[in-house]
């Protein structure tokens, strides 16, 4: 189901010629006579959800403005056109031209994709973008998606998330035993080996599950998104930091045939807009988190706490085990993981004396 359309012809060209003769401002008419494209973009997010859902909306509106309407992108929320977690399939098959989601949703098919979203105790957003744009990460990501007929661009990050909302205090590693917590992906597997019971629930069901006691705890994103779901009304303890998602990256994926049909200037506009959205999304999250945290701090029913050191120690050890196993069994994960962890070692030596030292000194 391709939606590309060709618009133009003699009438438009004649009007452009008239415009050119009169030497009026023709720039805004540059689309006249040029090939135009109409794309669909499916996503994993509730429509226009703060941060996550606004990223593809902003990409679409800015691409339309920058191309003067030559590339129009219609954005669909998760489930509107295809199920929320089948974005990769739909774009890969060419059902739609474009998708916006997070790479760890593909872990069933491509375990190594998780390196491009979030690795427990791994890189935060600043470190990840250095690896992607300057450290060879993006080339590895593209190589991983080549068999799926996809072109990939980084397209936002939530920043370091929170550890989650708990209705049970976590004072020691024993408190993880039997803990029923909504936590998907690698983080969930870590919790399982620590004695807990990870649960996977779509965002829309979290509040009720937490309020009714069906789960003891949940992670979601951070103050900005958590408050919009009302999670602070369903649990008392808000733990930090988000050891399991230190700066998860979002992605724009584009069907290669659709991509190749774009002229180079439109390709450049899409590529550059996705990179601009990286700046925009982290700014939106940092701002939204700060404002929502201020609200939470004035709420007498909310207690904000760090995880105990022994809990972090245990989770760190298990995380390493699980990632080592993934790298031992999947050649793509081994190749990407080697690049990732070698880069993390060099990079954290740098962030230790710059960003980290500054936070601790200020």
Task: Name residues contacting a copy of itself, limited to 32-91 (CB under 8 A).
Answer: 33-35, 62, 65-68, 70
Report how far Cα 133 is from the mean position of its chain's Cα atoms: 16
Q: Give the span between the Cα atoms of 101 and 88, in whole angstroms.
A: 9
Of these, 129, 166, 259, 340, which contacts a copy of itself (CB under 8 A)? 129
**3 state SS for 220-267:** CCCHHHHHHCCHHHCCCEEEECCCCCCCCEEEEEEEHHHHHHCCHHHH
CB of 194: closest distance to a copy of itself in angstroms? Answer: 16
Cis bond upstream, residue 195 (ω within 30)? no
Query: Which lies closer to a copy of itself via its Cβ, residue 108 or residue 359?
Result: 359
Size of the site for a copy of itself (CB under 8 A): 99
Q: Facing residues of 76 across strands?
A: 42
Residue 141 or 148 having the CB closest to a copy of itself = 141
Please report, for residues 48, 127, 362, the alpha-carbon distance to residue 193 in angstroms, rounded to integers and kept in the order given: 36, 28, 38
User: Which of positions 322-361 make contact with a copy of itself (CB under 8 A)?
Assistant: 343, 346-361
Burial of 154 (0-12, 13-18, 19+ CB in 10 A): buried
Of 80 and 355, which CB lies nearer to a copy of itself in the complex structure? 355
Please select the residue that binds a copy of itself; options are 4, 31, 94, 167, rule is CB under 8 A. 31
Residues 108 to 127: which contact a copy of itself by CB under 8 A? 121, 124, 126-127
Give the residue, chosen from 20, 214, 328, 334, that forms a contact with a copy of itself under the rule CB under 8 A. Answer: 20
Q: Which helix (H) or strand (E) holds 144?
A: helix 137-145
> Least distance from C-beta 314 to a copy of itself, angstroms?
13
169-208 residues near a copy of itself, rule: CB under 8 A: none
Name the burial class of residue 195, with classes exposed (0-12), middle (13-18) and buried (19+) by CB atoms within 10 angstroms of its CB: middle
Q: By CB under 8 A, what part of segment 284-303 binds a copy of itself?
A: 284, 286-291, 293-294, 297
- State in angstroms the smallest separation of the CB of 70 from a copy of itself: 7
Q: How far is the CB of 281 from a copy of itself (least distance, A)?
A: 10
Binding to a copy of itself (CB under 8 A) within 135-154 occurs at 135
Contact of 254 with 327, CB cutoff 8 Å: no
Helix or strand or coil: residue 100? strand
Distance from C-alpha of 315 to C-alpha of 160, rounded to nearest angstrom: 17
Select from 40, 43, 114, 160 the one that contacts a copy of itself (CB under 8 A).
160
Segment 215-244, which members bind a copy of itself (CB under 8 A)?
A: 222-223, 240-243
Closer of 49 and 148 to a copy of itself (Cβ): 49
Closest distance of CB 205 from a copy of itself, Å: 25
Strand partners, 303: 237
Q: Within positions 255 to 274, which residues make up the interface with a copy of itself, using CB under 8 A?
A: 262-266, 268-269, 272-273
| Smallest separation, CB 236 to a copy of itself (Å) | 16
Residues 76, 80: Cα–Cα separation, whole Å:
6
């Amino acid at each position: 189901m391709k939606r590309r359309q060709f618009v133009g012809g003699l009438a438009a060209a004649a009007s452009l010629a008239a415009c050119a003769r009169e030497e009026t401002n023709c720039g805004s008419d540059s689309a006249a006579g040029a090939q135009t494209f109409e794309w669909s973009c499916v996503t994993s997010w509730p429509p226009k959800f703060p941060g996550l859902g606004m990223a593809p909306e902003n990409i679409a509106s800015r691409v339309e403005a920058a191309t003067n309407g030559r590339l129009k992108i219609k954005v669909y929320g998760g489930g509107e056109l295809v199920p929320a977690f089948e974005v990769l399939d739909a774009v890969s098959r060419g059902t739609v031209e474009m998708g916006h989601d997070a790479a760890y949703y593909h872990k069933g098919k491509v375990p190594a994709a998780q390196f491009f979203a979030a690795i427990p105790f791994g890189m935060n957003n600043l470190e990840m973008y250095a690896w992607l744009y300057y450290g060879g990460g993006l080339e590895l990501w593209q190589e991983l998606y080549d068999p799926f007929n996809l072109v990939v661009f980084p397209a936002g990050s939530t920043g370091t998330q929170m550890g989650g909302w708990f209705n049970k205090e976590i004072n020691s590693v024993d408190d993880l035993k039997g803990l029923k917590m909504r936590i998907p992906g690698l983080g969930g597997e870590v919790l399982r080996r620590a004695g807990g019971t990870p649960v996977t629930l779509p965002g829309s069901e979290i509040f009720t599950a937490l309020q009714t006691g069906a789960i003891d705890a949940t992670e979601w994103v951070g103050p900005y998104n958590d408050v919009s779901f009302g999670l602070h009304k369903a649990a008392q303890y808000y733990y930090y930091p988000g050891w399991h998602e230190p700066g998860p990256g979002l992605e724009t994926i584009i069907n290669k045939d659709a991509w190749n049909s774009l002229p180079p200037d439109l390709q450049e506009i899409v590529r550059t807009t996705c990179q601009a959205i990286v700046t925009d999304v982290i700014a939106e999250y940092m701002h939204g988190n700060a404002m929502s945290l201020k609200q939470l701090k004035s709420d007498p029913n909310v207690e904000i706490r760090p995880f105990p050191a022994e809990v972090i120690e245990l989770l760190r050890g298990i995380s390493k085990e699980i990632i080592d196993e993934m790298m031992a069994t999947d050649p793509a994960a081994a190749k990407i993981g080697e690049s990732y962890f070698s880069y993390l070692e060099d990079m954290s030596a740098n962030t230790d004396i710059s960003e980290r030292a500054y936070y601790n000194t200020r």
